[in-house]
Structure 1
Amino acid sequence: MKDILQDREERYNTILDLISKYQLPVVCGKINYPGNHKNTVEALKVFEVLQQLLTSRYTADSVFTEILSGADGKSLLIVTKLTTLEAKQAAIHIESNHPLGRVFDIDVYKEDGTSIGRGDIGLESRRCILCNEDARVCMRVKNHSLEEIIDGVNKLIRKHCF
């Protein structure tokens, strides 16, 4: 777990460096994969799908892209000329309309280094992949075991990637 937290911190510092260098929003796409093993065959396969979607959507407006790999899995960073709101709306469109969108985690960071959340633009929180309740509430009250969540995520990924 320590490695995952360190990897997240390093990724965030890279995002801050990119914002400082380009003075533009940064899109960060990664996989919302449960547990401490973020580099499973399933997670890596679904990241390929996400990478293709993000590259396709943001390439025309990007000035820099980079793929990071670490204990928290792979992530794709894209510095974009889009406004923060335009970038977030595109991210939400992908997360909401793709069959694997439930496991995509696409964050958009503003020029001040903070991310824009769904609530910031008047949208509801993401839903639990298993029961469709508010995902944050589900996690907090532990409605499902880690094994159940991993199994559900893997079934979804296998259905669309293998």
Structure 2
Amino acid sequence: MMTLLPHLAASHTVTLPELLLSRECRQSRQAAWLTRHTCTLISFTVVAPGPVKDSPLTRRIFNAGIAALNQLAQRQEWPLREQRSLELATGPEGLMAIDAPAEQVKRAAIALEQAHPLGRLWDMDVLASDGQILSRSDYQLPARRCLICQRPAVLCARERRHDVAQLLAHMEALVHDATPDNV
């Protein structure tokens, strides 16, 4: 999978209509990949608070996640049918078609997110070949926690409890603290 060059990030403000259209396009891409490959699919994005979704920071986090996913697939000996990285103004996206049971892939993705120093900054959606998205709640896991205060992230986001600059500074610190092998 291609590494995205951080210095080539769009770094422009994304509007709500652009973001909504991006989600629709992602769902269409996922459906097309599932039709083409009829196997488990990982759709990978990065947590990106604020209006700028494609930045040098999000690309560094994305590249670390893609490298970790490739290492995971290699360790698990999962055949990869296809993988792709997308450079989008609405944030980097990755797709991986994997010949392995979706439940096994989801469990491993959850373990990776929990073990890796940048795992909290990744969003790894695992889709079964029938298109069903396996969620954290399917595995009796709690909702994601806020990066700053550990409350449910959805509540802090809805209330805009933390300043975007504060969230981005915390993300930068996580990237800085991660070992060079991981980023």
1:77-124 per-residue CA deviation (whole Å, 9 max, x = no partner) reads 111111111111111011101111110111101223231110011111
Alignment of 1:8-157 (within 5 A): 8-59=23-74, 60-61=77-78, 62-157=80-175
- Local SS of the residue matching 2:85: strand
Task: Name the TM-score, length of structure 1 as normaliser.
Answer: 0.91
The whole-number CA distance in structure 2 between the counterparts of 1:66 and 1:83 is: 20
- Local SS of the residue matching 1:78: strand
Aligned length: 162
What percentage of aligned pairs have identical amino acids?
A: 25
Indicate the RMSD between aligned Cα atoms, in angstroms: 1.7
Unaligned runs of 5+ in 1: none
- Local SS of the residue matching 2:124: strand
Unaligned runs of 5+ in 2: 1-14
The whole-number CA distance in structure 2 between the counterparts of 1:69 and 1:3 is: 15
Task: Name the TM-score, length of structure 2 as normaliser.
Answer: 0.81
More helix by share: 1
The whole-number CA distance in structure 2 between the counterparts of 1:83 and 1:114 is: 13
The whole-number CA distance in structure 1 between the counterparts of 2:127 and 2:89 is: 21
Regions of 4+ moved over 3 Å: none
> Is the 1:24–1:111 contact (alpha carbons within 8 Å) kept by the matching residues of 2?
yes
Aligned residue for 2:3?
none
